[in-house]
Amino acid sequence: MASHAKAAQKFARQLFAMSIVDGAVSADRVAGVLEYVEKHHPANPVMVLKAYRRLVAAEIAKSLAVVEHAGAINDAMLAAIAASMTKKYGRSVTATARPSPALLAGLRVQVGDDIYESSVAGQLAVLAASV
């Protein structure tokens, strides 16, 4: 079982490497990969596609700044965040807004694994942990 999972992971990585064009995930290549998997039925296709999906999702997340906000946010602010993140990570990052009243006030920006916490809820959580 473990060896199947390893083989599927390895194959998924190879498919993922083929899906990258100029440092970003290419929609055409992804479509090609899916077509290939459907046609050729590799061993453990579900395992392969799940691992492939995880890798693609992680890569897409690196180019997307998800801006959670409690108050109002305008396009100019989103553009400023996207520009700032593009400069910081050295790759093209787009920003998308997601309302989140649970933050109480402020912003929470997620780019890949990194989270930039500037919300009241986040600060309260830090305070609660330190008490």
Partner 1 sequence: MSTVLEQIEQQIAKLSSKAVKKNTGNIRTVADGVAKIDGLSDVMYNEMVQFPGGAIGIALNLEEDEVGCVILGDISQLKEGDEVTTTGRLLSVPVGKELLGRTVDALGNPVDGKGPLGAKEFYPVERIAPGIIVRKGVSQPLFTGIMALDSMIPIGRGQRELIIGDRGTGKTTITIDTIINQAKINKVGLASGDKNFRPVYSIYVAVGQKNSNIVRTLSALEAAGALEFTVVVAAPAADNPANQYIAPYSGAAMGEWFMENGMDALIVYDDLSKHAVAYRQISLILKRPSGREAYPGDVFYLHSRLLERAARLDGKGSLTALPIVETLAGDVSAYIPTNIISITDGQIFLETDLFNQGIRPAVSVGLSVSRVGSAAQIKATKQVGGKLKGELAQFRELAAFAQFGSDLDAKTKAQLERGNRIVELFKQPAFAPQPIELQVAVLFAMQKGLFENVEIQKVSAAAASLKNFFTTRKDALLAEIRTKAALDKDLEARLQAACEEWKSSYSA
Sites of contact with partner 1 (CB under 8 A): 2, 9, 13, 54-55, 58, 105-107, 109-110, 112-118, 120, 122-123, 126
Question: To the nearest whole angstrom, how small is the minimum distance from the Cβ of residue 27 to partner 1?
Answer: 22
Q: Which is nearer to partner 1, 22 or 113 (CB)?
A: 113
CA distance 102 to 111: 19
Q: Are 47 and 2 in contact (CB under 8 A)?
A: no
Residue 48 in contact with residue 11, Cβ under 8 Å?
Answer: yes
Closer Cβ to partner 1, 38 or 57, answer by number: 57
- As a residue count, the chain comes to 131
Task: Tell me how far, at minimum, the Cβ of 39 lies from partner 1, in Å.
Answer: 26
CA atoms within 13 A on the CB side of 20: 16
State the Cα–Cα distance between residues 67 and 111, nearest whole angstrom: 9
Q: In the complex, what is the shortest distance from the CB of residue 115 to partner 1, in angstroms, rounded to a whole number?
A: 5
Which residue number, 5 or 31, has a Cβ lying nearer to partner 1?
A: 5
Measured from the CB of residue 70, what is the shortest distance to partner 1 in angstroms? Answer: 11
